């Protein structure tokens, strides 16, 4: 069974942007990407998110020492617990790849991509 389902799937399907959190020697680091980029490459049924990478140098360095990663999707298009707006936090393991099938797929859709961020989803839950 997919880990991103129900309300979280609705949030991911509608999120405009996504926050990406990693940790390294300098502490916590945040980067972001567009929700459309994630949806263009990912199949939520296989618990893998693919994100094209243009920059994200510190994110990549952090993932070399720890694959732990968190993503936060949010949208006002899904009803939350206390009004319009719902979030979904995804935890998992991440790595940046610049070769292979996943990278070639990202490069085909996003010619500017220097790599692809592969997130293996371990847990997902609502936020807000």
The per-residue pLDDT string of the chain (128 residues; one tens digit each, 9 = 90 and over) reads 679 999 999 999 999 999 999 999 989 999 999 999 999 999 888 899 999 999 999 999 999 999 999 999 999 989 888 888 999 999 999 999 999 999 999 999 999 999 999 999 999 999 87
Helix (H) or strand (E) holding 114: none
Q: Look at residues 39, 103, 31 and name the one whose alpha carbon lies nearest to residue 62.
A: 31
Tell me how far apart the alpha carbons of residues 124 and 83 are, in angstroms, rounded to a whole number: 21
Question: Which residues are 91's β-sheet partners?
Answer: 70, 123
User: Domain locations in the chain?
Assistant: 6-127
Q: Give the per-residue pLDDT at 1.
A: 63
Q: Give the per-residue pLDDT at 37.
A: 97
Residue with tokens 């998110």: 49
Decide: helix, strand or coil at residue 38.
Answer: helix
CATH number for 6-127 (one of 2.30.110.10, 1.10.1740.10, 3.40.190.10, 3.40.50.1820): it is 2.30.110.10
């Amino acid at each position: 069974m997919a880990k991103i389902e129900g309300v979280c799937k609705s949030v991911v399907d509608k999120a405009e942007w996504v926050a990406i959190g990693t940790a390294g020697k300098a502490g916590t680091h945040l980067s972001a990407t567009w929700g459309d980029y994630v949806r263009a490459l990912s199949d939520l049924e296989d618990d893998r998110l693919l994100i094209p990478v243009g920059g994200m140098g510190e994110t990549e360095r952090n993932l070399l020492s720890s694959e732990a990663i968190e993503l936060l999707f949010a949208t006002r298009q899904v009803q939350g617990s206390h009004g319009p707006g719902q979030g979904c936090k995804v935890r998992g393991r991440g790595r940046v790849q610049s070769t292979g099938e996943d990278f070639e797929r990202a490069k085909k859709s996003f010619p500017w991509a220097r790599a692809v961020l592969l997130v293996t989803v371990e847990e997902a839950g609502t936020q807000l």
